[in-house]
Amino acid sequence: MLVVICLILIKVSFVSRIVYAFKYLLPCIRIEISAFTKLLYDECVVNKADFIKLTIPSILYTVQNTLQYYSISLLSAPVFQVLSQLKILTTAIFSVILLSRKLSVIQWTSIVFLSGKN
């Protein structure tokens, strides 16, 4: 199971890098394979810091989605929906605590209404 999850994480990270590389090549009318492979190599191998910055969120996103599918099988639909809506509120709370952000009363009210939507 762990090997499968690691392979999925590597795949997600690699795909995100390809999409990032295509972002720079799509405006060109002609896409040259050598330019594409050079850009792909530069983005994945040379810029390791950027590669790691994109890998960590992709790993967390993959783990979150895997756990979400697992929780769907264990929870009833209403409980799962309530817990899913709480992600918005917990993200706001952690952004205030960990990132020292300040949210206004209007923003907190909006977050509470978003968390309570049906």
Whether residues 70 and 81 share a domain: the answer is no
Q: Which of 57, 74, 91 is the last residue of a domain?
A: 74
Whether residues 12 and 46 share a domain: the answer is yes
pLDDT of amino acid 6: 47
**Dihedral sign of CA atoms 91, 94, 99, 101 in order:** positive
pLDDT of amino acid 59: 87
Whether residues 47 and 86 share a domain: the answer is no
pTM of the model: 0.46
d(CA 72, CA 81): 10
Whether residues 18 and 43 share a domain: the answer is yes
Full residue range of the structural domain in which residue 54 is found: 1-74
pLDDT of amino acid 104: 93
Whether residues 82 and 118 share a domain: the answer is yes
Query: Which ranges constitute the DSSP H helices of the chain?
Result: 2-25, 33-41, 48-74, 77-99, 105-115
Per-residue pLDDT of the chain (118 residues; tens, 9 = 90+): 554 454 454 555 655 666 665 666 555 545 566 777 777 787 777 777 777 777 888 888 888 888 888 888 898 988 888 888 888 888 889 889 988 889 899 999 988 888 776 5
Cα dihedral 58, 34, 42, 57 in deg (nearest 10): -10
pLDDT of amino acid 40: 75
Whether residues 109 and 83 share a domain: the answer is yes
The total number of structural domains in the chain stands at 2
Whether residues 84 and 63 share a domain: the answer is no
Whether residues 7 and 35 share a domain: the answer is yes
